[in-house]
Amino acid sequence: MNPPYICNTYNVKNIMFFVLIASIPAILTEFYFFGIVILIQIFLFIICSLVFEIVTLKICCKSIKNNILDNSSLVTAVLLGLSVPSSLTWWMIIFSSFFAIVIAKCLYGGLGQNIFNPAMIGYAVLLISFPLDMSSYHKESTKLFSLDDLKISINKVFFQTKKNIILNQNPDVFTQATPLNQFKNKSRVFYNTSSEHIILKDEKKVIFSSWNYVNISFLLGGIFLLYKKIICWRIPFSFLFSLVFCSTLSFLFSKNFIFSPFFHLFSGGTMICAFFISTDPVTTSYSNIGKIVFGLIIGLLVYVIRTYSDYPDGVAFSVLLGNMLAPLIDDFLNTSGYGHKKYERF
């Protein structure tokens, strides 16, 4: 064995376990605001993900025990359950899990071989295939820890009752990432000197909504991951810097009314992207400078998609585009692994 001798503090199983621990604050926060339906969705995502991976490993004649015990499927399932609206039915969960585990992970060779983030593949497929369902959401739960909440949650997931579903209305509070679409449309259509105060009022609803607290819970989980050195600071900080920098410039100098930097930071899927999604070690750049460039690109893409596209949040597409660019970033920066010489580009 030749130097350099590199000793990893954590193995894959431990890393995934700490990610699950870091997601607990977000799970508890969403459970507090949206009820038992969140726990049911996460549980279904976990079951479907494990079943799909076991079946695929069996077909490919690979070791089921070694691959299942790395906890990677659990992380994918939990992140999907925390990302999607609370109005999805059971068959959509199965559909999303299939693409996340079988298509985005197993068909590429399993963990470490996939080029796209599995959770974001599952989310993007739902967003493209079922835009109406991904744009509807339920009111916050007012009967926490009750039998009624359990019954309502079961009806939502398995029978899809339309009671308490808000779609294209004027809710009192914006509660999920997807309802930001309504606010974005208002800022485009109704912007003038007389309606600016209305848009500002709607922005305050989003800022002080339950999703604001969910983002804070993801931030706390991200700080824990940084403290345990599970993730590197370069991607989260460069991502947040890019998003804040772009939104600040637009907010200060744009003629049209644009969302404030605080709005971009604590709405939608900003924090889960910064600390849980974009930091996936498999689908990102592996060099230090490459990680910074990767985070800057994703932050820019999130800002552009949120501001100028018809999609309410640009996290999924931004991460997937960043995954596509990751090998190009490393190649362009001319990085090389241990034992390999840097080559001359020209």
**Shared-domain flag, residues 136 and 204:** no
**Shared-domain flag, residues 56 and 93:** yes
Lowest mean pLDDT segment, chosen from 63-72, 126-135, 181-190 = 181-190
Res 96 pLDDT > 80: yes
Res 315 pLDDT > 70: yes
Residue after which a domain boundary falls, among 117, 149, 177: 177
**Shared-domain flag, residues 282 and 311:** yes
CA distance 106 to 123: 17
Q: Taking the complete model, does pTM exceed 0.85, yes or no?
A: no
**Shared-domain flag, residues 293 and 225:** yes
**Shared-domain flag, residues 30 and 116:** yes
Residue after which a domain boundary falls, among 125, 155, 177: 177
- The pLDDT, as a whole number, for residue 332 is 85
pLDDT band at 76 (very low <50, low <70, confident <90, very high): very high
Residue type for position 320: L
CA distance 273 to 215: 10
- Helix (H) or strand (E) holding 165, with range, is strand 165-166
Residue 283 lies in a domain: yes
Residue 17 lies in a domain: yes
Strand-pairing partners, residue 137, are 166
N-term to C-term CA, the chain: 34
What is the percent of the chain with per-residue pLDDT over 70, rounded to a whole number?
Answer: 71
Residue 207 lies in a domain: yes
Chain position carrying tokens 């600016």 = 196
The number of domains in the chain is 2
CA distance 272 to 98: 22
Res 118 pLDDT > 60: yes
**Shared-domain flag, residues 94 and 229:** no
Mean pLDDT of 75-85: 94
CA-wise closest residue to 68 among 97, 42, 106, 39:
106
**Shared-domain flag, residues 154 and 189:** no
Residue 3 lies in a domain: no
Asked whether the beta carbons of 228 and 19 are under 8 A apart, the reply is: no
Mean pLDDT of 284-288: 90
Residue after which a domain boundary falls, among 121, 149, 177: 177
CA distance 231 to 225: 6
- The pLDDT, as a whole number, for residue 175 is 42
What is the percent of the chain with per-residue pLDDT over 90, rounded to a whole number?
Answer: 47
Residue 343 lies in a domain: no
Residue, of 145 and 261, whose pLDDT is higher: 261
**Shared-domain flag, residues 156 and 119:** yes
**Shared-domain flag, residues 173 and 118:** yes
3-state helix, strand, coil in the chain (%, to 5): 65, 0, 35
- The pLDDT, as a whole number, for residue 250 is 87
- The pLDDT, as a whole number, for residue 42 is 95
For CA atoms 322, 312, 29, 42, give the dihedral sign.
Answer: negative
pLDDT band at 51 (very low <50, low <70, confident <90, very high): very high
Residue 1 lies in a domain: no
Q: Which domain does 329 fall in, by range?
A: 184-334
